[in-house]
């Protein structure tokens, strides 16, 4: 269908569109069911069955299965069946982990999916692009990504960049007129907008004519079907580490087998034990567990209003050393609030923030009733009268119990909203004024006039004009003033007093709006030029976009974490400095740079002073890229926030690009690695804290798994070197691997951050996995776990030389308990005594379940035969627990002692 040739009414008819009302939600769902979602095919994903089979493709598992088959053929049926069951359980655990990661990432894509503005049931609404259907009427504005193929029916300076389809980076000027003639190339179809392209300027309306694989983008979908590899730098490093660990594990396992055979042990027994040890020792599940940890962390971030679009950002967050934050809406509430009022030489303060109409009026320290102060009442009344905004009370669900709470939403200009709320706090609403005043005519605000006026008539039939606007303009057009409840001539002295009051309010970073009025004759012609003069000056309302209440504490925590916060704003220097001081962003000797200075200096010159600058004022989005480059040149890891089309280069260039979820354009979101769904600075801090915690949790289970694996290998190696019997049989080794490596390791990924996680300096991006003494902790704990297990085995064997099964059971239980006690030590960078073990309830339950599984195989008679175990006596339990606690308690005690010694010195 050549949509570009069609008249608008033909397009409307062919697509079943309705320009007047839009299609209904019911009709949209029907079309969605019939034609499918507006999505490009991603290619076939492996079925759950093949994902499950993939768990058994590891070479060592295949060797173990082959050995098990031989074991069965030799008549060792019980051992063979049990090993098969353990391998199957391991496969199920790996499958669950992989599917969990996949589902988390799918949910992540859903949340960060682009949206479109469509006209349905007579109202404009935002829906996910994938839910848009043919016949939908769509609004496209600058910064939007077009989510379907559209035939444009109205354009207003609309330009669309179509390089994803045409290769041409120059935006195309769009039109809504039909184009006749021959077949046109995509680039020449000026009345069409295509899926995947970006609106760079202007706005327009269009009817959806194609979705999904039927779009122009769908025709070349084979170029887009390769899914993005979400492997992070950490995952790649761990994969390389895994290969080294596999080589080391195989070498040590081979030594165990060789020493065992040389000591006279049966070759088949040693081979099976060796393969089992290799399977248990090789951390083949490490990348999968890292993926799960990242995915779980991402889910937690989503709950904290931070949507991660690119997994590497999770790691980079922990390295952030500078946050460059927008002021409006991020550091502040983006809700203008009147805080000071001036009239006739008096100043009043009003409490309360945002659009909630609750607050008190004060004259100095004295609380007053604004309805009993005639001048004040007049000032707020006129602010409500000359106003087009509306404050609506909405009921929203809040919290886990989904209780309903009221919230107040502005419909209109923020400045007018502030004046409206100021009046409502005094008990004066628009609704109440309609009884006393009738609107006759309005003269809207214009930037040339810098004022807005309304002509109203009171109940006595008296007409007058009420005006609000820039104080200097209103003052220049006034001839009288309200002073001490009376009207008097505006003398030069009074003018100077008004100007002084305005300057005083402005110095507090308040935006000032002046209010005036003028009585009119009943038959006076209502010409704007004639009536907007000779005012009586009533007073001034001073307003500010107040800081978010939680931001100051977040900035303080960031400073403690070694992260510098930089404010970037388009506001004037005075306003920027005032807010920066309120939030403790600007220190005593901190510099403030304005846009003019930024334009004049080079990136190289900026590098020399960038560490001393804390506030950038009157900055355009183009300057942000310069700031990012200068900070990065100084070695900083930069998080940069933005919301506009022009912010995209800086967001993309930053180490962590952060887009605003509410005010952000699709271009900004596409360029970002993190989206704030609440546009709140505190969310950045929470995301950095979560990012640090995710990395620390990954280090925790690397420490736990590798120390446990080192212990398992060493107990076997030392026993063979000393000419001792096998401390563990193959099936016990596999059971230990299943019981200790599964749930406890996963539970570590859910651990809460340590108290000092935001008191440490940012991590270097080049930091190795084993940095900060992790390698030493793994080797020392692993060595100790191996030694105590071997010691318990030797003592039991010496006490009962003819009962090898008992000694092996003692070694088996000691090794399991040593690992399960050690897992609590892994929760802290300091020692096991540093944290409450019951903080992580998931870990407590994981450890209890592992202990229960261990008790079953040593006390349940049918399983004793299979696992070569015997019941352990209470006296033996004292021996086991005493030895099992040594690696954690002894080394933790040494760390605690040396730490207190350092503090004392």
By three-state DSSP, how is residue 756 classified? Answer: coil
Of the candidates 252, 353, 239, the residue with the CA atom closest to the CA atom of residue 291: 239
Question: Which are the catalytic amino acids?
Answer: 326
Cross-strand partners of 514: 469, 540
* CA neighbours closer than 13 Å in the CB half-sphere of residue 455: 20
Cα separation of 856 and 867, whole Å?
10
- SS3 of 379-422: the string is HHHHHHHCCCCEEEEEEEEECCCCEEEEEEEEECCHHHHHHHHH
Cross-strand partners of 409: 392
C-alpha distance across the termini of the chain, in Å? 83
Residue at token pair 């104080």 = 471
Burial class (CB in 10 A: 0-12, 13-18, 19+), 526: middle
Give the alpha-carbon dihedral of 309, 313, 318, 320, to 10 degrees: -110
Of the candidates 674, 696, 702, 669, the residue with the CA atom closest to the CA atom of residue 311: 674
Of the candidates 581, 587, 672, the residue with the CA atom closest to the CA atom of residue 306: 672
Q: Phi and psi (nearest 5°) for 194?
A: -115, 150
Cα separation of 615 and 573, whole Å?
9
Contact 365, 410 (CB under 8 A): no
Query: How many residues belong to the chain?
Result: 905
Torsion over CA: 344, 350, 355, 357 (sign): negative
Contact 316, 692 (CB under 8 A): no
Cα separation of 579 and 696, whole Å?
34
Of the candidates 340, 356, 353, 390, the residue with the CA atom closest to the CA atom of residue 549: 353
Question: Is residue 679 left, alpha or beta, with left meaning phi > 0 and alpha meaning psi from -120 to 50?
Answer: left
Contact 408, 355 (CB under 8 A): yes
Cα separation of 58 and 294, whole Å?
23
Indicate the DSSP class of residue 6. S
Contact 173, 190 (CB under 8 A): yes
Q: What secondary structure does DSSP assign to 43-106, as a single string? A: -PPPPHHHHHHGGG-SHHHHHHHHHHHHHHHTT-HHHHHHHHHHHHHHHHHHHHHHHHHHHHHH
Cα separation of 565 and 558, whole Å?
7
């Amino acid at each position: 269908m050549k949509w570009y040739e069609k008249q608008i009414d033909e397009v409307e008819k062919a697509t079943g569109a309705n320009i007047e009302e839009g299609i209904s939600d019911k009709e949209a769902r029907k079309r969605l069911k019939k034609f499918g979602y507006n999505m490009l095919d991603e290619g076939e994903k492996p079925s759950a069955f093949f994902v499950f089979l993939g768990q058994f493709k590891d070479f060592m598992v295949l060797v173990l299965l082959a050995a098990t088959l031989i074991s069965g053929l030799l008549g060792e049926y019980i051992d063979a069946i049990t090993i098969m069951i353990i391998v199957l359980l391991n496969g199920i655990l790996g499958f669950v982990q992989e599917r969990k990661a996949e589902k988390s990432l799918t949910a992540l894509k859903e949340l960060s999916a682009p949206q479109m503005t469509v006209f349905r049931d007579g109202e404009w609404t935002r829906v996910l692009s994938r839910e848009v259907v043919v016949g939908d009427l769509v609004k496209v504005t600058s910064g939007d990504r077009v989510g379907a193929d559209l035939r444009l029916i109205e354009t207003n300076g609309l330009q669309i960049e179509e390089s994803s389809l045409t290769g041409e980076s120059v935006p195309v000027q769009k039109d809504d007129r039909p184009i006749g003639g021959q077949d046109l190339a995509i680039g020449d179809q000026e009345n069409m907008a295509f899926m995947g392209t970006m609106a760079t300027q202007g706005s327009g309306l269009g009817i959806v004519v194609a979705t999904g694989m039927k779009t122009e983008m769908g025709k070349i979908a084979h170029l887009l079907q390769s899914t993005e590899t979400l492997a992070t730098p950490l995952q790649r490093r761990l994969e390389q580490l895994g290969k080294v660990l596999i080589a080391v594990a195989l070498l040590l396992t081979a030594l165990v087998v060789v020493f065992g055979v040389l000591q006279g042990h049966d070759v088949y027994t040693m081979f099976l034990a060796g393969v089992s040890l290799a399977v248990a020792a090789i951390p083949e599940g490490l990348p999968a567990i890292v993926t799960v940890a990242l995915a779980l962390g991402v889910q937690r971030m989503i709950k904290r209003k931070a949507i991660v679009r690119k997994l590497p950002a999770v790691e980079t967050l922990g390295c952030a050393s500078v946050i460059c934050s927008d002021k409006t809406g991020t550091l502040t509430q983006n809700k203008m609030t009147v805080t000071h009022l001036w009239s006739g030489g008096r100043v009043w303060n009003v409490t309360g923030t945002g659009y909630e109409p609750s607050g008190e009026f004060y004259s100095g320290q004295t609380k007053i009733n604004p309805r009993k102060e005639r001048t004040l009442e007049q000032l707020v009344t006129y602010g409500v009268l000359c106003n087009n905004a509306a404050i609506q009370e909405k009921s929203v669900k809040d919290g886990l119990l989904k209780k309903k709470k009221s919230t107040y939403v502005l419909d209109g200009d923020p400045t007018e909203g502030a004046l409206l709320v100021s009046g409502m706090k005094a008990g004066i609403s628009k609704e109440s004024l309609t009884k006393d005043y009738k609107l006759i005519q309005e003269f809207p605000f214009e930037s040339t006039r810098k004022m807005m006026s309304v002509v109203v008539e009171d109940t006595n039939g008296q007409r007058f004009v009420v005006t609000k606007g820039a104080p200097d303009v209103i003052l220049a057009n006034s001839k009288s003033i309200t002073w001490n409840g009376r009207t008097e001539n505006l003398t030069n002295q009074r003018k100077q007093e008004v100007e002084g009051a305005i300057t005083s309010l402005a110095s507090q970073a308040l935006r000032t709006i002046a209010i005036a009025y003028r009585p009119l004759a009943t038959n006076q012609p209502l010409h704007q030029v004639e009536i907007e003069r000779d005012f009586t000056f009533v007073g001034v309302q001073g307003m500010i976009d107040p800081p978010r209440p939680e931001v100051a504490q977040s900035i303080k925590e960031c400073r403690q974490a070694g992260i510098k916060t930089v404010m970037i704003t388009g506001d004037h220097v005075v306003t920027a400095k005032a807010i920066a001081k309120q939030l403790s962003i600007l220190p005593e000797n901190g510099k403030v740079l304005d846009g003019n200075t930024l334009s004049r200096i080079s990136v190289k010159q900026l590098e020399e002073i960038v560490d001393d600058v804390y506030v950038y004022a009157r900055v355009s989005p183009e300057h942000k890229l310069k700031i990012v480059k200068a900070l990065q040149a100084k070695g900083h890891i930069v998080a940069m926030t933005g919301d506009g089309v022009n912010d995209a280069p800086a967001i993309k260039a930053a180490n962590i690009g952060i887009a605003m979820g509410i005010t952000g354009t699709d271009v900004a979101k596409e360029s970002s690695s993190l989206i704030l769904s609440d546009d709140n600075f505190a969310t950045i801090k929470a995301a950095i804290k979560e990012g640090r915690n995710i990395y620390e949790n990954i280090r925790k289970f690397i420490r736990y798994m590798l120390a446990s694996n080192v212990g398992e290998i060493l107990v076997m190696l030392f026993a063979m070197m000393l000419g001792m019997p096998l401390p563990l049989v193959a099936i016990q080794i596999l059971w230990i691997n299943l019981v200790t490596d599964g749930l406890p390791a996963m539970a570590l990924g859910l651990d809460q951050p340590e108290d000092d996680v935001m008191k440490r300096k940012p991590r270097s991006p080049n930091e190795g996995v084993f940095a900060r003494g992790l390698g030493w902790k793994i080797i020392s704990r692993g060595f100790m776990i191996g030694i105590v297990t071997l010691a318990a085995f030797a003592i039991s064997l010496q006490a009962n030389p003819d009962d090898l099964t008992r000694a092996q059971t003692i070694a088996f239980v000691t090794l399991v308990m040593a690992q399960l006690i050690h897992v609590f030590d892994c929760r802290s960078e300091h020692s096991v005594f540093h944290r409450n073990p019951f903080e992580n309830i998931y870990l407590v339950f994981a450890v209890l379940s592992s202990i229960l599984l261990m008790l079953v195989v040593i006390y349940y008679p049918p399983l004793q035969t299979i696992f070569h175990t015997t019941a352990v006596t209470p006296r033996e339990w004292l021996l086991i627990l005493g030895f099992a606690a040594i690696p954690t308690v002894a080394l933790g005690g040494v760390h605690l002692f040396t730490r207190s010694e350092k503090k004392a010195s």
